[in-house]
Structure 1
Amino acid sequence: MAVVLLLYLVAEIAAVWAVASAIGLLGTIGLLLAGAFIGSALARREGGRAAQAFLAAAGAGRPAHAELTNGMLVAFGGVLILLPGFVSDLAGLLLLLPPTRGVFRRAWVRRLERRAQAMGPMHGQRQGRVIVVDGEVVVNQADRPQPPHQQPPHRPVIDPQ
């Protein structure tokens, strides 16, 4: 994971350096700010659409798996857009656009399904093994109300003073 983060940072710095060399420092800063503003507007719009689709699916009583994963990908894309840099802006934009988001969603769901199959039916337990605990329920007799003819006689409380 640390290697991936290091590679990302190197790619981000290289991209900013290349753009700054081509159009200058002020142009690069302007481009980064424009990407953040346009991306946040796109994230807001797509997030609203994803929320409406989720509510419509939930209201209709059907599973909303696709709508939920779309919403999560839109949120992640919005975070990537707000990070400074061109690589993160490009990745966030790809997650915010519906056609490319669908590709990412299908790949993500396939990966999760493979992972779930590899883990077995119950994570951490051997497949086919069932543990049965035999026991007996015991009711505390003091908590159970007694019939009037079986109640202990009332004893007066003696004040020690």
Structure 2
Amino acid sequence: MAVFFLLYVVAEVAAVWAVSSAIGVLGTLGLLIAGAFLGSWLARREGARAARSFMAAARSGKSPQAEVTDGMLIGFGGLLILVPGFLSDIAGLLMLLPPTRGVLRRAWLRRAERRMMNQPGRVIVVDSEVVPEDRNHPVIESR
């Protein structure tokens, strides 16, 4: 984890250095500030939209799985916008924009589903008897 953080900091510094050498220090500061304002506005707008979608899904009785995941991605994207640097701003904006957030949501849900299926120690209850699940010999309930 420490290596990942160190690589991230080096990449952010390199990105700020490259942009500032291309457009100057004032242009770089302007871009960082504009990205923060744009990101905070977009996070507020998309967060309100996700909250309305969640409430509509809850009222209709359907599972609000996509809406909750959208809210999580919007919150994390807003947090990344607050972190100074171009790479975090780009990652945060990608989480805030609806088309890319949809792609990230589907990837996140597929990953979560795979992790849930690979949980060790799952059990199956058959006729009030707990039977450990064996991937090679699945338990088939017959009646």
The answer, yes or no, to whether TM exceeds 0.5 is yes
Partner of 2:34: 34
Segment drifting more, 44-53 vs 26-35: 26-35
TM-score under structure 1 normalisation?
A: 0.74
Partner of 2:50: 50
- Give the root-mean-square deviation of aligned CA atoms: 1.6
% identity of equivalent residues? 66
- Report if the CA contact (8 A) 2:94-2:100 is conserved: yes
Spell out, residue by residue over 1:104-124, the C-alpha distance to the aligned partner (whole angstroms, 9 max, x if none): 11111111111111114649x
Partner of 1:2: 2
TM-score under structure 2 normalisation?
A: 0.83
Q: Which amino acid aligns with 1:100?
A: T
Q: CA deviation at 1:100?
A: 0.4
Distance 1:122 1:62 in 2: 26
Distance 1:114 1:3 in 2: 27
Partner of 2:69: 69
Distance 2:48 2:120 in 1: 36
Distance 1:14 1:80 in 2: 18
Partner of 1:87: 87
Distance 2:4 2:30 in 1: 28
Distance 2:30 2:56 in 1: 39
Segments of 5+ residues of structure 1 without an aligned counterpart are 130-161
Q: Which amino acid aligns with 2:35?
A: G
- Report if the CA contact (8 A) 2:122-2:132 is conserved: no
Q: CA deviation at 1:80?
A: 0.6
Q: Which secondary structure state, in structure 2, belongs to the residue aligned with residue 119 of structure 1? A: coil
Distance 1:22 1:2 in 2: 30
Segments of 5+ residues of structure 2 without an aligned counterpart are 124-130, 134-143
Q: Which secondary structure state, in structure 2, belongs to the residue aligned with residue 91 of structure 1? A: helix
Question: Structure 1's 54 and 8: CA in aligned 2 closer, same or farther, altered over 3 A?
Answer: same
Q: Which secondary structure state, in structure 1, belongs to the residue aligned with residue 132 of structure 2? A: coil
Return the structure number with greater helix share: 2
Spell out, residue by residue over 1:16-67, the C-alpha distance to the aligned partner (whole angstroms, 9 max, x if none): 0001111111111111011000110000000000000000000111110000
Give the number of the structure whose alpha-carbon radius of gyration is greater. 1
Partner of 2:16: 16
Q: Matches of residues 135-150 of structure 1 in structure 2 within 5 Å?
A: none
Number of equivalenced pairs: 126
Q: Matches of residues 116-135 of structure 1 in structure 2 within 5 Å?
A: 116-120=116-120, 122=122, 128=132
